[in-house]
Amino acid sequence: MQRSRYRTLGQIGQGQFGKVFCGIDRENGQVFALKDLDIKQFPTRKFLRELSYLVSLKHPNIISFHGIEHHQGGRYLVMDYCEGGTLRELMESGQKITLQLILKLVQDILSALVHAHRKKIIHCDIKPENILLKITSTGYIAKLSDFGIARWSEEQLQPYHSGGYTGSPAYMAPERFYGKYSAASDLYAVGILLYELLVGSRPFSGFPKDLMAAHLSQSFNLSDTIPLSLQTIIEKALRKLPQRRFTNSQEMLEAVRLAEQELLGNSSDNIFFIPSSSSSLNNFSQIIKKVYLSRKITNLSVVQNWIYWVEKNVLMVQFYYDKTDLEFFHDYKITFEDEIIKLEFSSNTVYIFTFSEESNLYTLYHFFVEQEQLKKLLTWSANQLISSIDIKGKWIAIALNYQEINIYSLQDFKFIKSTITEGKIQQIITLDQSHCLVIHQSTSEHTLFQIFNRRGNLFKAFSITLAIELVTLSKVADYEIFAIETNKPFLGLLIKLKPLKITRIPLPFKPSFVLAQSWGYILASSLGEIIVLNAQGIIQGEINLSATITAITTLNDEKILVATESNNQSCLQQLSLKKDF
Ligand SMILES: Nc1ncnc2c1ncn2[C@@H]1O[C@H](COP(=O)(O)OP(=O)(O)OP(=O)(O)O)[C@@H](O)[C@H]1O
């Protein structure tokens, strides 16, 4: 048996007929969905049927089928991978969905239906669970999936109550309960979906029997807050008689396009519809200490009760305890020959990188704070150095000149392995005791992730269609990072790496600092705005310090230290994050 072309990056979901995996093409790092079709549970007839729809349909808004992969245990259907998850997941994520996004997604779904209906295929199961979201540098793309119960338009169906045919009653048009269906039945389901996206709940709810009665004879109300043009579209899509709905999917698509033009024009403002609990943000934080300083602080870290800060080639260390008045004295002051460019930490050791511009020489030192021991460890001659230290302080990954990755043991400072990579290394993050993530900015619209193990061997590589920066490792979940979208700096990204899953988070400002906490993230702009996000990326609170933030660090789970500057006056503030997360 040949080795599979794909390497799995974890399971994404479990359908009725088998598991779905996220897989990487070993050759080019592209990510695909691998739907494992359990031969026992998924009869070949049903498999061929779903396949016949997928093969017939090639459209940017329909999940593409890329082939069948046989493996030892059975067979995989290889399909487009949608790292944004399902539309249902987005709706339940607590993130605000803008009117622009609602109209964009509904147009994507209708474009998919225009194509399918032209090919005489009726989807028969339009619902948010079957709309998958691809995230690219241009935004979300909705892709219609799960043609498991789709039908050719000439086929006959059994009535719903005969049990021979299923669907999702909450989205089923009245005729579907009698086994009748047409393109108009799919448009009815899109009408329910549009209603749900705008209102936050569906027009009819209850058990399947109640739902059937409601779809057949009940009317529904729409609040006046929904724009008239959208009310008209919903009203027409949800007519009880199929022949009174839109004549076809193209006509409904045109109506949504017109409504979009009328409502949004060329405006790029974000209009939110669904009231969100986070819309009434409190000032979450309290300034508990504030001291004025004679100098500007540009680098600040707190590790195990020691505050570290840097002024050019001087490192100062001060013990911090709750009653510290923050007046800046220092317990230690170490002067280096060259300018300090970075500090890294592992428990009570600080690693200091210095750089000499004259000789292009990077030097690494370590300092054991309690033992007052400073030691020079390694030097590199390079134009550029990026580093990341293992959390336990056992090894370090160093990238030189954007391309060469070197791994060193920190126990005996021995060189372990060097690898030359293609592309431009932008950041390295140690993920756990044995792996590090190397992030390459391959183009302005692509990012390549490479996972190396501590022996310097490439373990996995895959890419996403987004450029990212300011990447920070989560303290909540393993293999999860937070990043900012380079081309849209008002968007945060919560990226799970195993399996790949991306959540987009609209932000009120462009962050310059991202701090991970055991309950979520703290984001700050250089202008003094700070927000707190929970682990799901939902904004919990905000504060504005109305001063330039020059450095920021966490003191513990509840407190942060922020260095600010305004009117040439530097200041250090200790803030308490008062809310329960
Ligand atoms: N192409 C894909 N890209 C990303 N995630 C996917 C993809 N296909 C499926 N998934 C995820 O896997 C889950 C299971 O998918 P699958 O299509 O097997 O089952 P289902 O739609 O839940 O139900 P069923 O096919 O049994 O009716 C989905 O809910 C979705 O989260």
265 lies in some domain: yes
Q: Residue 326 — pLDDT band, cuts 50, 70, 90?
A: low
Q: Which domain-ending residue is among 55, 80, 105? A: 80
| Mean pLDDT, range 189-205, rounded to an integer | 95
Q: Identify whether residues 301 and 206 lie together within a single domain.
A: no
Q: Which long-range contacts (CB under 8 A, 24 or more apart) does 26-29 make?
A: 29/448, 29/461, 29/462, 29/463
The average confidence (pLDDT) of the chain is 87
Instruction: Round to the nearest angstrom and report the end-to-end CA distance of the chain.
Output: 51
Q: Is the pTM of this model over 0.90?
A: no
Pocket test for ligand 1, best of 53, 129, 146, 462 (most atoms within 8 A of CB): 146
Contact 253, 107 (CB under 8 A): yes
Looking at this predicted complex, what is its ipTM? Answer: 0.96
Which residue, judged by its Cα, is nearest atom 11 of ligand 1?
A: 13
Q: Identify whether residues 261 and 389 lie together within a single domain.
A: no
CA Rg, the chain, in Å?
28
Cα of 478 vs centre of ligand 1, distance in Å, is: 23
Percent of the chain, pLDDT > 90?
57
Cα of 459 vs centre of ligand 1, distance in Å, is: 27
Which residue, judged by its Cα, is nearest atom 15 of ligand 1?
A: 15
Q: Is 172's pLDDT higher than 70?
A: yes
Q: Which domain-ending residue is among 16, 49, 80? A: 80
Q: How many domains does the chain have?
A: 4
Q: Residue 568 — pLDDT band, cuts 50, 70, 90?
A: confident
Cα of 10 vs centre of ligand 1, distance in Å, is: 14
Give the CA distances from residue 400 to residues 60, 167, 411, 428, in Å, rounded to whole numbers and listed in that order.
Answer: 40, 56, 21, 11
| Mean pLDDT, range 331-337, rounded to an integer | 90
377 lies in some domain: no
| Mean pLDDT, range 328-351, rounded to an integer | 87
Lowest pLDDT segment from 37-51, 261-275, 334-348: 261-275
Which residue, judged by its Cα, is nearest atom 13 of ligand 1?
A: 13
| Mean pLDDT, range 158-185, rounded to an integer | 79
Q: Which residues are annotated as part of the binding site?
A: 35
Q: Identify whether residues 111 and 259 lie together within a single domain.
A: yes
Q: Identify whether residues 486 and 447 lie together within a single domain.
A: yes
140 lies in some domain: yes
351 lies in some domain: no
State whether residue 322 is helix, strand or coil.
coil
Rounded to whole angstroms, how far apart are CA atoms 542 and 544?
7
Atom nearest to 63 CA in ligand 1:
1
Q: Which residues are annotated as part of the binding site for ATP?
A: 35
354 lies in some domain: no
CATH number at residue 57: 3.30.200.20
Pocket test for ligand 1, best of 17, 20, 34, 168 (most atoms within 8 A of CB): 20
359 lies in some domain: no
Q: Is 279's pLDDT higher than 60?
A: no
| Mean pLDDT, range 16-24, rounded to an integer | 86
Give the CA distances from residue 562 to residues 296, 297, 376, 472, in Å, rounded to whole numbers and listed in that order.
Answer: 12, 10, 30, 18
pLDDT score of 580? 46
Q: Residue 162 — pLDDT band, cuts 50, 70, 90?
A: low
Q: Is 420's pLDDT higher than 70?
A: yes
Question: Ligand 1 pocket: which residues have CB below 6 Å?
Answer: 12-13, 15-17, 20, 33, 35, 63, 79-82, 85-86, 129, 132, 145-146, 148
Higher pLDDT, 207 or 281: 207
Rounded to whole angstroms, how far apart are CA atoms 365 and 355?
12
Q: Identify whether residues 156 and 265 lie together within a single domain.
A: yes
Within 10 Å of residue 399's Cβ, how many Cβ atoms?
26
261 lies in some domain: yes
Atom nearest to 125 CA in ligand 1:
27
| Mean pLDDT, range 294-307, rounded to an integer | 84
Q: Identify whether residues 64 and 16 lie together within a single domain.
A: yes
Tell me, letter by letter, the H, E, C secondary structure of 187-253: HHHHHHHHHHHHHCCCCCCCCHHHHHHHHHHCCCCCCCCCCHHHHHHHHHHCCCCHHHCCCCHHHHH
Contact 158, 149 (CB under 8 A): no
Beta strand pairing call for 373-381 and 385-389: unpaired
In terms of Cβ atoms closer than 10 Å to its own Cβ (0-12, 13-18, 19+), residue 205 is: exposed
1 lies in some domain: no
Question: pLDDT tens-digit profile of 506-546?
Answer: 999 999 999 999 989 999 999 999 999 999 999 888 889 99
Question: pLDDT tens-digit profile of 344-400?
Answer: 998 778 999 999 999 999 999 999 887 778 999 999 999 999 999 998 889 999 999
CA neighbor of 42 nearest in space, from 11, 68, 3: 68
Cα of 87 vs centre of ligand 1, distance in Å, is: 12
Rounded to whole angstroms, how far apart are CA atoms 529 and 544?
4
Q: Residue 181 — pLDDT band, cuts 50, 70, 90?
A: confident
Atom nearest to 83 CA in ligand 1:
4
CATH number at residue 473: 2.130.10.10
Higher pLDDT, 163 or 55: 55
Cα of 15 vs centre of ligand 1, distance in Å, is: 6
* Structure token pair of residue 260: 């979009």
Q: Identify whether residues 284 and 266 lie together within a single domain.
A: no
Q: Identify whether residues 475 and 552 lie together within a single domain.
A: no
Atom nearest to 79 CA in ligand 1:
1
Atom nearest to 149 CA in ligand 1:
27
Q: Residue 477 — pLDDT band, cuts 50, 70, 90?
A: very high
DSSP per residue, 124-160: ---SGGGEEEEEETTEEEEEE---TT-EETT-----G
Q: Identify whether residues 525 and 396 lie together within a single domain.
A: no
Pocket test for ligand 1, best of 8, 9, 12, 75 (most atoms within 8 A of CB): 12
Give the CA distances from residue 65 to residues 108, 217, 397, in Å, rounded to whole numbers and listed in that order.
Answer: 18, 39, 39
Q: Identify whether residues 192 and 165 lie together within a single domain.
A: yes
Q: Which domain-ending residue is among 460, 486, 506? A: 506
Q: How many CA atoms lie within 13 A of 434 on its CB side?
A: 3
Which residue, judged by its Cα, is nearest atom 22 of ligand 1?
A: 15
pLDDT score of 259? 95
Element of type H or E holding 18: strand 18-25
Q: Identify whether residues 117 and 176 lie together within a single domain.
A: yes
| Mean pLDDT, range 335-346, rounded to an integer | 93
Q: Identify whether residues 238 and 121 lie together within a single domain.
A: yes
Domain ranges, residue 288: 275-332+507-581
CA neighbor of 366 nearest in space, from 334, 338, 337: 334
pLDDT score of 559? 86
Cα of 383 vs centre of ligand 1, distance in Å, is: 47
